[in-house]
Amino acid sequence: MTKKSVNPAPSNESVRLDLHDDSERLKLVIEATGVGIWDWQVQAGILTANDRWAEIIGYTIAELEPLSFDTWANNLHPEDLTQAKDLLEKHWRGESELYQFEARMKHKEGHYVWVFASGKTVEWEESGEPRRMLGTHLDITQRKKDHHQFIMASQLLHESQEIARVGGWELNLETGELYWTDETYRLHDTTPEEFNPTVDAGVGYFLPESRVIISDALNKAVNEGVGYDLELETLTTKGRKIDIRTTCNVTQINGVPVRLTGIFQDISEQKEVQRKLESSNRDLKQANSALQLSAHFDPLTELPNRNLLADRMQQAIVKCARGKRSIAIAFIDLDGFKAINDSYGHSFGDELLRKVATNLYNVLRQGDTLARIGGDEFVAIVSDFETPEDASRPLNRMLDAIARTVDVYGKLLKVSASIGVTFYPQDNTNPDQLLRHADQAMYAAKQLGKNRYHIFDIAHDAAIKSKQEELERLKKALINNEFILYYQPKIDLRSKQVVGLEALIRWNHPDQGILPPNTFLPVIEQDILGIELGEWVIKEAIRQLQTLQAATSSLPISVNISPFQLQHADFGERLGEIIAQNPSFKANSLELEILESSALRDIEQVSRIIKSCNKLGVTFSIDDFGTGYSSLTYLKRLPAEYLKIDQSFVRDMLSDKEDLAIVQGIIELAKAFNLKVIAEGVETPAHGDKLLALGCYFAQGYGIAKPMPASDVIPWLAHWSENAELIDATL
Ligand code: C2E
Ligand code: CA
Ligand code: CA
């Protein structure tokens, strides 16, 4: 007030106003504050109000005129009217100096506005009744709204904090005052009445480890303005342990921290779940590594098992490839372990295995591997040799280590071992094969007398393997009908008559074409497949001869029989069966050629077989005579019909005197034993002439005809009957 009178604002308006007039001044105040003014003649029911009074409820005064008590009462919210009346009565009774009331009044637009009414009775009737009241109306709608929203917001905050178990805290750094929200108290099992929070008290409740962390964090917040977000363990005021998350936000003014605010959140449940998860994860991990252990190690000796051995072998091979040195794979099998196990029992056996394994392990170098892959079977990977020969020392050391006497539960026992060894990269194959090869060699070591090592023979194995593969292939060839028979005629040199056909096998290979017998027969000679193939030849020859015989006079056919086949137990029987299966076939048309060979060792047996075949009507020739055993006993004991002079003598007899002598000798011998003689390898007419001169009447050879497919036989026979002339096949 004093200020204003000293320095009156020099506005035009103020000039017109008489500032000494109170009523003028009041008018200004009323306009500035937006207060509605009312003046009520209580007994007369007349109401006077200013524009603002009407404006609060959306009208102009003119619109409301004439104003009365009812203008007010009718616009009041019905619920508020009774209360208003009560308050008025109270005021009039003198119980309140002022009549004051917050009420809702209906706005012109239909909604209610909040009005703060304040009034006072200024004149009284003599009877003591009120005559005139003066008062104000203040529009408090906005304030009411704000307040309501505030209530709502804080209530919501409160509820959500409770639900989330989140409490808030605030620390005023200037005053040191710490403020906790309700939920923060609740989290600490306490109430504002019971507990007065201070920083020291709060920190004091944290568990030791957490206390260090929170103290540090608070220091940093206070001194450096750095906030935090931590998960810690604390006790409540009642000593209950809880996990909490606590955060801190720093408010700074001019770079100086003035206030810390943050939350407290009870995360005990989450932590519990997390801990359970972690612990079950730990259990899982433990179970896993136990599993892994049993997956890779032998429980008895704790040595690597077969699985780990495979890994180690792979590694050793890789390392070997880099270092250009050899590794030895040693397959170790104890000798006589089973007997010990049987006579002393399993626990004895187990202990023996443990002891032997230890002894063996101790003579190996670091970096070598010893694995147990079965009962008494071990495998050692011994690495780093210049040459396989260098391995003899460590191998002998291993044999010695195993053969050492061991004390098993007070009993002195001794075993030995058979070791099979293969070397990589000399034996250039995969771990599986290496192991198999070492195993094979171990078996050989056993057969050679045990307590020794034996080295796998790579070359021998390769040979066996390729033979095995070839046998498989030939087996398939037989099934697939890839074999065929060629036929080569035999003639009587005197008459030029064809006297027979020799069946000669060929392999009609799908890729390589027609293959001669020397390319495949040696592979199967000693195999059961050779016998099967031999039977096939007999059957096929008989079958084809029958179709030929329809067109020709009955030509005998000769079939070559391997010594192995001939001496096979039931050769005679099988031949009988085959012949019986072809009733139209005359057995005396079949001639079997057998090699004069040391393979026909058991002359008694062979002659028995020949005799039994003779009974069927089948005859025999002794093939390649002169190349083999050539004993007179043969000629005497074997009931054959023909001697076949081998082509190697025949071919060169015209130029080689010795060969001629042999041919002559055989012819004489045949005469002496009353055998017919036939020469093979007759390649020119001159051969034929010479043989005839020597008294050999039968011949076979390229000079007459080369072996031919069955389909060529009839055309050839026709041709030969027209022009029976030998040719020179050497040209
Ligand atoms: P082998 O029984 O001595 O058969 C005669 C071989 O000499 C045949 O060879 C034939 O083609 C060949 N040859 C015939 N005349 C001449 C000639 O004037 N000059 C020359 N350089 N060679 C001639 P092939 O067919 O290669 O047979 C070889 C051997 O294979 C046969 O010798 C026989 O021991 C065996 N063989 C053939 N077929 C069979 C069969 O079905 N079973 C058995 N177990 N062995 C057979
Ligand atoms: Ca022959
Ligand atoms: Ca021959």
Take residue 669 and report the two structure tokens written for it.
């011998």
Task: Please provide residue 635's backbone torsions phi and psi, each rounded to the nearest 5 degrees.
Answer: -60, -35
The residue that leads in pLDDT, 288 or 566, is 566
Ligand nearest to the CA of 621: 2
d(CA 658, CA 430): 56
What is the residue with the minimal CA distance to atom 42 of ligand 1? 560
Kindly tell me if the per-residue pLDDT of 14 is higher than 50. Answer: no
CA of 354 to the centre of ligand 1 (A): 64
d(CA 652, CA 663): 10
Ligand 1 — pocket residues by CB below 6 A?
488, 503-505, 516-518, 521, 534, 537, 560-562, 593, 623-624, 647, 680-683, 700-702, 707
Contact criterion met (CB below 8 Å) for 57 and 75: yes
- Which region among 9-18, 499-508, 703-712 has the lowest average model confidence (pLDDT)? 9-18
Kindly tell me if the per-residue pLDDT of 10 is higher than 50. Answer: no
Per-residue model confidence as pLDDT tens digits over 326-348? 999 999 999 989 988 888 888 99
Pocket test for ligand 1, best of 490, 491, 504, 624 (most atoms within 8 A of CB): 504
What is the residue with the minimal CA distance to atom 33 of ligand 1? 560
Per-residue model confidence as pLDDT tens digits over 107-144? 999 999 999 999 999 999 999 899 999 999 999 988 88
Q: Which residues contact 184 (CB under 8 A, 6 or more apart)?
A: 167, 168, 169, 197, 264
Rg of the chain over all Cα atoms, to the nearest angstrom? 62
CA of 513 to the centre of ligand 3 (A): 23
pLDDT at res. 279: 84
pLDDT at res. 5: 39
Q: Which residues surround ligand 2, an ion (CB under 5 A)?
A: 560, 593, 623
The model's confidence at residue 12, banded by pLDDT at 50, 70 and 90, is: very low
Mean per-residue pLDDT for 31-49? 89
Closest CA to 197 of 211, 183, 207: 183
Q: Which residues contact 172 (CB under 8 A, 6 or more apart)?
A: 178, 179, 258, 259
pLDDT at res. 129: 92
Ligand nearest to the CA of 593: 2
What is the residue with the minimal CA distance to atom 10 of ligand 1? 707
Which ligand 1 atom is at minimum distance from the Cα of 486? 25
d(CA 719, CA 725): 10
pLDDT at res. 628: 67
Ligand nearest to the CA of 628: 3
* Percent of the chain topping pLDDT 70: 95
CA of 563 to the centre of ligand 2 (A): 12
Kindly tell me if the per-residue pLDDT of 4 is higher than 50. Answer: no
Give me the long-range contacts of 636-640 (CB less than 8 A, separation at least 24).
Answer: 636/673, 637/603, 637/604, 637/607, 638/603, 638/606, 638/607, 638/610, 639/607, 639/610, 639/611, 639/614, 640/594, 640/610, 640/675
What is the residue with the minimal CA distance to atom 38 of ligand 1? 504
Average pLDDT over the chain, rounded to an integer: 89
- Which region among 110-124, 588-602, 608-622 has the lowest average model confidence (pLDDT)? 588-602
The secondary structure of residue 584, as a DSSP letter, is: T
DSSP strand pairing (708-709 vs 483-492): antiparallel
What is the residue with the minimal CA distance to atom 35 of ligand 1? 517
Mean per-residue pLDDT for 650-660? 91
pLDDT at res. 464: 80
pLDDT at res. 598: 59
Which ligand 1 atom is at minimum distance from the Cα of 562? 44
Mean per-residue pLDDT for 688-700? 96
Residues in the chain, overall count: 731
